[in-house]
Amino acid sequence: MSSWIRLGLSSREAYLNFFRRFPPLVEFLCLGTLTGLILFPLPGIQVVLLFTVSRLLCLLDVPVHWTHFLTRVWAFGFGFFCISLYWICQALFIEFNVFWWMIPLCFMGLPAFLALFMAFISFWFLGWAYTVPSKILQFLFLQFGYVHSKSVSRLIMAAFWWVSGEYFLTYFLTGLPWSLIGYTWSPVLIVAQTASIGSVYTLSFLTLCLAGIPYLYCSVVPSRFTSLYVKTGVAVGIGVLLFGGVRLSNPTEYTNKVVRLVQPSISQSPFWELEEQRLNLNLLLRLSQVGSRLADIVIWPETALGFYLEGDALKERLGRAVPEGSHLIFGVVKRDKENKKIWNSLYVLNHQGQIEATYDKHHLVPFGEYVPFRRGLEVFFPKNTIRKVTSGMLDFSEGAGPQTLHVSGIPSFAPAICYEAIFPGQVTSPHDRPEWLLHLTNDIWFGTSFGPYQHFQIARMRAIEEGIPVVRVANSGISGVIDPYGRIIKETTLGTLAVEDVRLPKALPTPPLCRLFFSIMAWFDRFDPFSSRKY
């Protein structure tokens, strides 16, 4: 260990001198951008954190005026969210002639807002919660004889601050928990298994605590306590690998049900034209009958049908797409003519065309499925100029919340539509554990960008947290089946037409410890008037 310390000391000055040539704002912006890269599913990208986290902590140790502090943290957040969410604005290109003016607002405005939020949270936390708990930690460490513990205490509290911000972003107002540090481990399953203990937030916390180790050697002369922290970090890392290895040694168990994933890759631009709707329906029906064996469950993606499911003849035609005793599950827009309401819904039909269960999406996308503060905006702008990004002038209505659907002949399942799957702890009912999670989505809005890849990796994390398999059907991909350990049983290629028959894996017999964490957090959220939680 002493050789590593000497190596750290010898390179310390060179490491710090390299950055002194950059203006602070530029450096913070670049650090944020580099940190955001870890959310791309690229092999070995996690190593970037060893550099960015340590350098960020070194910079935050330098006392500056509070205005400089705010602008620098804002620059870091702006770079972080710009790179990790760059693909969102691609949805606006589908109707470019209508939404062209929103592209710069989406590409730069959303990251700027999230970065502003990060800056003020950081200011509060580093102004009080970073210093007071840090000093408490130093006092506790002092009782055990560890004198030089300031840097370690600040590192731990900084990691706690970051994860607190992630949690706040998840549940505050509508929530957007997309850019969570822990998601960088979704492709590395042996590490991702730790999420079964305390969710993706635990992964974020451990990742930051370990990634900040170089900071300990750059900020102060290493002490005995620093060496102990490093040894503890190595032990934790080994424990994570051992825990993940033990979990992954368990084989995948399967039910006797076969699910057919239908990925039609239907273009979004002429989707709502009548003739195009008929062609799309014929395509879906034809693909549903492709396969070497009979499927128990045929699944279409989100809003697979471009028209309302209101006629018996249409329902019977859809029912004939599946064999006797089987079911068709698909996404469709449901409407209430009398009250002028629509929902982004999921239907379960039997072979006779009878509706056996429905689910209404409860976590809607701001500006995508509804316009926030519509009534206030209509005071200043004509009504016909205010519309959501998806087709139509009418906003979608919210569903009741997470549900478990029970249908005869199908293992009980929890539906999640589109970005509902990105919310940890909010994809299943806490009172009725399902046997699998069904995720319907339409990621064709984002083309072949990194967005659909990130979305798929997030679904893997939900499988690990909940201990249940995930069946994901996307219009243009990525569709697939994921077992309760996050292992991919079947995966389609993005941007292609595909049909896959896959046996449905079994859920774990007992829910992971992570469910207890979610239950505790749900109880605390009852006292948050701004929480987006529906139960």
Q: Specify whether the CB–CB gap between 413 and 436 falls below 8 A.
A: yes
Retrieve residue 497's tokens: 């037409």
- The helix/strand/coil state of 491 is strand
> Which candidate in 82, 106, 418, 514 is catalytic?
418
Please count the other Cβ atoms lying within 10 Å of the Cβ belonging to residue 209: 21
CB contact at 8 A, 362 and 420: yes
Q: Distance between CA atoms of 405 and 412, rounded to whole angstroms?
A: 6
Look up tokens 């549940």; give the residue: 171
Active site residue 89: no
Strand order in the sheet with 470-474: 405-407, 410-417, 436-441, 470-474, 480-482, 488-491
Catalytic residue from among 58, 166, 209, 302? 302
Query: Burial of 497 by CB count in 10 Å (0-12 exposed, 13-18 middle, 19+ buried)?
Result: middle
Q: Do 320 and 284 touch, CB atoms closer than 8 A? A: no
Active-site choice (257, 361, 388, 506): 361
Q: Which of 209, 269, 222, 272 is nearest to 57 (CA)?
A: 209
Q: In the block, which residue shows the tokens 């955001």? A: 36
Catalytic annotation present for 418: yes
Q: Residue 341 catalytic?
A: no
Evaluate whether 442 touches 271 at the Cβ level (below 8 Å). Answer: no
Compute the distance between CA of residue 74 and CA of residue 114 in angstroms, rounded to an integer. Answer: 9
Residues 6+ positions from 147 with CB-CB distance below 8 Å? 223, 225
Q: Is 382 exposed, middle or buried (0-12, 13-18, 19+ CB in 10 A)?
A: exposed
Q: Cα separations (Å) of 467 from 324, 486, 514?
A: 31, 9, 9
CA-only gyration radius of the chain, Å: 25
Ordered strands of the 498-505 beta sheet: 355-360, 341-350, 327-336, 297-299, 254-263, 498-505
Phi-psi region of 44 (alpha: psi -120 to 50; beta: other; left: phi over 0): left
Please, is 265 exposed, middle or buried when counting C-beta atoms within 10 Å of its C-beta (0-12, 13-18, 19+)? middle
- What is the full DSSP assignment across 448-469? TSHHHHHHHHHHHHHHHHHTS-
Active-site residues, by number, are: 302, 361, 418
